[in-house]
Amino acid sequence: MRRPTSIIRFALLLAMGLNASLALYAQDDLLSLLGEEKPKKQRVKYAFKSSRVINSHSMEFINPGTMDFRILHRFGSLDQGYKNFFGLDQASMRMSFDFGLLHNLMVGVGRSTYKKEVDAFIKYAPICQSTGPGSSPVTVALVSGITMDGLPWADPTRQNYFTSRLAYYNQLIIGRKFSEALSLQVMPTVVHKNLVQLATDKNDIVGLGFGGRLKLSKRMALTWDYTYVLDGLPETGYYNPLSFGIDIETGGHVFQLHVSNAVGMNERAFITETTGQWGQGQVRFGFNLSRMFQLKKSKLD
Amino acid sequence: MLKNIFLIGGALLLTITNVQAQKFFTKTGRIDFNATTPSSPEKIEAVNKTVTCVLDVASGNIQFAVLIKGFTFERALMQEHFNENYLESDKFPKAEFKGVITNNSAVNYTKDGDYTVTVKGKLTLHGETREVESPGKISVKGGKISASASFTAVLGDYKVEVPTLVSDKVSKTTKITVACTLEPLKS
């Protein structure tokens, strides 16, 4: 009888132990009784502070129901020295309104003092970077824009067509937020000008853009963008636009301060008409000021 | 021998009753928070309607979990700042409370009525855990339990930084209101 008793004793102890452990378990983690949450597909947000890197469109969209009022300034080139207060005496400007329609759809319209040009665009992302099941490692966005030159006709004596004022650009943005700090993107771009200056100039200009952001702190980031023009620019006098900047976020505003060799503030202007050279000190200060307005508020109840 | 069998049976029975001890839960509880000050230019408030809560009526243990990204603000930009700069929801996706109703015996969960309770436990927010004690209310009605509480949390305690530029526009203490309607958990 000795052996069975000990087995019973063991079983008794086991039962008590189980009991105690279950009680402990229950006390420690009631939430786990509901089972593990299934991982959900979730968009990766805030790759850039703004919908622009500096000059170029970024992979980021403004929130639906918001309007982004943007004021952009490009000053004169630094090599003018003190005479023009390092370019600050001159300023070229673009003012624009962007509207967030969906989380992956936005439109915008702006006007630049340079060539009195009006521009408009639509930007849509069929694929958004996300985590979880069925996720994508990158955001793929498409931008399609149009620009309209507003200057008086260069030669009023000849037959001029309205369409001659127009140029178009189409851009593909492939971008990825690699970490909380680092986001990178490439942007193959085609600009088409209906009218060019010389018979030898090409109507289509093809470029490959690169943009990035490196966060320095929660509210400050280093940014850069560059477009390497592959084809379409005249041999001399035109250069690839390269910009370096700092994004500073202060509540409702984002300030993008930068230096760049480009003066244009739409794709046609900065990709095809950048005449400054970094090597010659022909760079200029500039800033983008972005102020966000909530047009349609979310309901809390 | 017979005595032993009774003992085992008793112990097992205890285990079973313990497992089946009534627990109540929800996955659609609500948390409101408000950090508005008189000098705030805009209302700083948000709501989350996907709060998970489990209550063990036998012990009075109560636990909450909530996803920071689930908070909705009126203004999308405020929500962006809340996630990116203040609560850092990528780094700290969840907030949790694990506590106990200290006067649990005063609540009769089988009888309809309102009971004033005190909840004490640990709140984990932004990766920081602090002791929290708050008065609350338990209402029992037709087999369902409603639990609600309202308390304040000091942002600094949880290392949530408010930049000096907006320090007078965001309250240093936030008012947090919890309301959950719990249903029996079938295990």
Q: Say whether B25 and A33 touch across the interface (CB within 8 A).
A: yes
Do A156 and A108 meet the contact criterion of CB atoms below 8 Å apart? no
Going A265 to A271 to A276 to A278, the CA torsion angle's sign is: positive
Kind plus residue range of the DSSP H or E element containing A20: helix A2-28
How many Å apart are CA A137 and CA A253, to the nearest integer? 29
Instruction: For residue A198, name the pLDDT band (cuts at 50, 70, 90).
Output: confident
- Name the CA dihedral angle for A38, A139, A54, A244, rounded to a multiple of 10 degrees: 90
Q: Which residues pair with residue B69 across a beta bridge? A: none
Do A53 and A213 meet the contact criterion of CB atoms below 8 Å apart? yes
How many Å apart are CA A179 and CA A30, to the nearest integer? 33
Containing structural domain, residue A167:
50-292
Residue with token string 């966005």: A141
Instruction: For residue A5, name the pLDDT band (cuts at 50, 70, 90).
Output: low
The number of beta carbons lying within 10 Å of the beta carbon of residue B138 is: 26
Do B116 and B137 meet the contact criterion of CB atoms below 8 Å apart? yes
Q: Which residues of A touch B (CB under 8 A)?
A: 1, 4-5, 8-9, 11-12, 15-16, 18-19, 22-23, 26-27, 29-31, 33-34, 42, 45-46, 63-66, 100, 180, 218-219, 249-252, 292, 294, 297-301
In a domain, A41, yes or no: no
Give residue A82's pLDDT: 80
The number of beta carbons lying within 10 Å of the beta carbon of residue A15 is: 19
In a domain, A44, yes or no: no
In a domain, A176, yes or no: yes
Give residue A17's pLDDT: 56
* pLDDT, tens digit, 9 for 90 and up, residues A87-137: 888 899 999 999 999 999 999 999 999 999 999 999 999 999 999 998 999
Is the CB of B118 inside 8 Å of chain A's CB atoms?
no
Q: Please tell me the total count of domains within chain A.
A: 1
**Pairs of residues, one from chain A and one from chain B, whose beta carbons lie less than 8 Å apart:** 110
Task: Supply the pTM of this predicted model.
Answer: 0.84
Instruction: For residue A64, name the pLDDT band (cuts at 50, 70, 90).
Output: very high
In a domain, A82, yes or no: yes
What is the CATH number for A106?
2.40.160.40
Determine the length of chain A.
Answer: 301
Determine the length of chain B.
Answer: 187
Give residue A23's pLDDT: 47
Do A102 and A90 meet the contact criterion of CB atoms below 8 Å apart? no
Contacts for B49 with CB less than 8 Å, ≥ 6 apart: B28, B29, B30, B70
Kind plus residue range of the DSSP H or E element containing A4: helix A2-28
How many Å apart are CA A28 and CA A26, to the nearest integer? 6
Q: Where are the domains of chain B?
A: 23-184
Q: Which has more confidence, B186 or A42?
A: A42
Cα distances (Å, whole numbers) of residue A219 to A104, A259, B86 = 24, 20, 11
**Nearest to A206, CA basis, from A172, A179, A232, A169:** A232
**Nearest Cα residue in chain B from A27:** B61
* pLDDT, tens digit, 9 for 90 and up, residues B6-30: 666 655 555 544 444 589 999 999 9
CATH class assigned to B23-184: mainly beta
pLDDT at B2 over 70: no
Of A19, A33, A65, the CB nearest to B187: A33
Contacts for A273 with CB less than 8 Å, ≥ 6 apart: A238, A263, A264
In a domain, A148, yes or no: yes
How many Å apart are CA A53 and CA A223, to the nearest integer? 7
Give residue A163's pLDDT: 94
